[in-house]
Amino acid sequence: MAGNTERLGAGVYPGAEGPVRIADAYFPVETLGPGRRLALWFQGCALACPGCMSRHTWDADGGRAATVGDLLQLWDAALADGAEGLTVSGGEPLQQPSALAALLLGAGRLRLARGRPEADLLVYTGHEPGEVPPEVWAALDGADAVVTGRFRIAEPTDLVWRGSANQRLVPRTPLGARRYAPHLDRDYPRGPRVTVHTDGTHARVYGVPARGELRRLERASAATGVHLTDPSWRP
């Protein structure tokens, strides 16, 4: 992934040249926050929650290398294509706090520069306040809302965009309150909670699945003659 941070202007977007490892990037995603969104998955997670659907994001040396500027270029393109928000997940974004802070700062400035002030920034973290040093938690300062807490497979929930009942959706800015207040206690409607995107070789599952949904997906795929090999949610 080659970026062009010069076009964005390093003075306006400090840290754009900084390194970051990511597992994936996709637009549009409609299952990780309100509206059509750019989703970015940071690489590396030491929390290793049992039952996690994204085991491929755990290895801090996995994924691919990029710069924050590369990710801002993706955000710029998504905004031009009508993106209503940015979701940062993982992996654990707080394992790369400098990159996360620079990304959120740049993304916030970029939405204003493009005349899209209502495009919100949502971050998923498995941590709770007080579990990491204050300077690490401060990487979330640019987020309009965060989903906090480990994924706990024994505590399923129907609340939208959360994988287990302990996880909290927390608005952090006036924009976050406007965008997320209607969803704090809203349950998922009936039907799939994930979407599947294929490129002919790989299938990628985006969203927060209900308990058993991934197993049902595997069975449904097998019934059509498509067999998933090495799914990321299997040990």
- What would the mean pLDDT of 92-105 be, rounded to a whole number? 98
pLDDT tens-place string over residues 49-95: 998 888 899 999 999 999 999 999 999 999 999 999 999 999 999 99
Q: What is the pLDDT of residue 140?
A: 99
Task: Give the range among 88-92, 100-104, 167-171, 209-213 with minimum mean pLDDT.
Answer: 209-213
Residues 6+ apart with CB under 8 A from 94: 100, 125, 127, 132, 136, 137, 139, 140
Q: What's the rounded Cα separation, in Å, for the pair 147 and 139?
A: 14
Q: What is the pLDDT of residue 189?
A: 81
Q: How confident is the model at residue 3 (pLDDT cuts 50, 70, 90)?
A: very low
pLDDT tens-place string over residues 6-58: 456 556 688 999 999 999 999 999 999 999 999 999 999 999 999 888 889 99
Rg (Cα) of the chain, in Å, rounded? 17
Torsion of CA 84, 99, 203, 194, to 10 degrees: -40
pLDDT, the chain, mean: 88
Task: Give the range among 60-69, 98-107, 190-199 with minimum mean pLDDT.
Answer: 190-199
Percentage of the residues of the chain whose pLDDT score is greater than 70: 80
Single-letter amino acid, residue 217: L
- The length of the chain in residues reads 235
- What would the mean pLDDT of 114-119 be, rounded to a whole number? 98
Q: How confident is the model at residue 227 (pLDDT cuts 50, 70, 90)?
A: low
Helix residue ranges per DSSP H, the chain? 5-8, 68-80, 97-113, 134-137, 174-180, 213-223
Q: Is 175 helix (H, G, I), strand (E, B) or coil?
A: helix
Helix residue ranges per DSSP H, 15-152? 68-80, 97-113, 134-137
Residues 6+ apart with CB under 8 A from 104: 88, 121, 123, 139, 140, 141, 142, 143
Strands 19-29 and 203-207: unpaired
Instruction: Give me 234's structure tokens.
Output: 């299997």
Whether 148 has a pLDDT exceeding 50, the answer reads yes
Going from N- to C-terminal start, the domains of the chain cover 5-188
Q: What's the rounded Cα separation, in Å, for the pair 94 and 139?
A: 7
Q: What's the rounded Cα separation, in Å, for the pair 26 and 204?
A: 10
Q: pTM here?
A: 0.86
- Interhelix angle 97-113/68-80, nearest 10 degrees: 30
Q: What's the rounded Cα separation, in Å, for the pair 10 and 102?
A: 11
* DSSP letter (8 states) at residue 49: -
- What would the mean pLDDT of 198-210 be, rounded to a whole number? 70
